[in-house]
Structure 1
Amino acid sequence: MNKPEAESTYQVWYCNRCDKACKIQPPTIKPGCRCANPVPGVRPTLVTQMAQMKPRPVQALTEEEARLRSLARKDQRVTVTYEAEVSKAWLRADANGAKRIQFIVTTPDGRRHVVDPSLPGLHVEAAPEGERPVVVVTVIGGLL
């Protein structure tokens, strides 16, 4: 038999012996009555069946992914640290005329980011000699 699509309405005649469906119109669902001689009711009952949700696949989380999901809460305070190489730096005048420095940094995967040290919670440190500069970002808030 076919499974119901979005929403389906059926006429169902219930057996007076076992109180299970003995006749269904249109015949897309198998009746539940197993009586040898079913005794259908006089009038059918209209039954509306909603579509069945597909079960979501279950996947095991790694310990790292479980830890990150527990941190991804609204208003959760986290510290994100990544290493980047300074590609470009310049001075920018703000609305009050004060000059502020900004950086464009390139991470090891080749992505470029604009870093504005005047933003609250952002701190740029020099890495030990011979290494790349490190950008430490404190983010307030989460993804979920």
Structure 2
Amino acid sequence: MTAPTSETTLLIWYCQSCRKSCKVQPPNEDPACTCKTPVPALRPTEVTVLHTPKARPMHALSDEEGRIRALARKGTKVRVTFEAEVVDAMQWSSAGDRGLSFTVRTSDRRRFTFNPQLEGLYIEGIPQEDG
């Protein structure tokens, strides 16, 4: 598969003395003319420059990275599961609506707040280990 290319058209006025560019429009590059008083041509020359994007380095994907990338498409339904410890539980009411929210902390100390009434969210307890 070839990468799409973009092109830019430049107007270049060449110096009549040294035959180098003395004016470029749009000014995205410096003129090459070093004459003290350049003598530009009456009409510019149209030059089309093709821009090819740089090739991205490729690397082999592990099975897990390939699986995760396959899931990272808009509209894919996923189930996310992680273990956390309940830090706080809050009962709330607002405009006749009431509910319960959980704040949990994961093992890497990140905090998340959940409303268990959200559709598709399921929270379950983990049995305590006897030690």
- TM-score of the pair, normalised by structure 1: 0.56
Change in CA separation of 1:99 and 1:130 when aligned onto 2, cut-off 3 Å: farther
Name stretches of at least 5 consecutive residues in structure 1 with no aligned partner.
1-5, 12-24, 28-44, 132-144
Matched residue type, 1:117: P
Partner of 1:137: none
Matched residue type, 1:124: I
The 5 Å alignment of 1:38-117 reads 47-96=47-96, 98-117=97-116
More divergent stretch after superposition (87-96 vs 105-114): 87-96
CA displacement 1:57-110 (0-9 Å, x = unmatched): 1122111111011112222111110000000111011332x4311111000010
Bigger fraction of residues in strand: 1
The percent identity for this pair of structures is 39
CA offset at residue 8 of structure 1? 7.0
CA offset at residue 119 of structure 1? 0.7
Cα distance in 1 between the residues matched to 2:87 and 2:102? 7
- TM-score of the pair, normalised by structure 2: 0.61
CA displacement 1:17-73 (0-9 Å, x = unmatched): xxxxxxxx759xxxxxxxxxxxxxxxxx85422233211111221111110111122
Change in CA separation of 1:54 and 1:26 when aligned onto 2, cut-off 3 Å: farther
- Number of aligned residue pairs: 95
Higher relative contact order (CA 8 A, sep 6+): 1
Cα distance in 2 between the residues matched to 1:121 and 1:66? 26
Cα distance in 1 between the residues matched to 2:100 and 2:46? 72
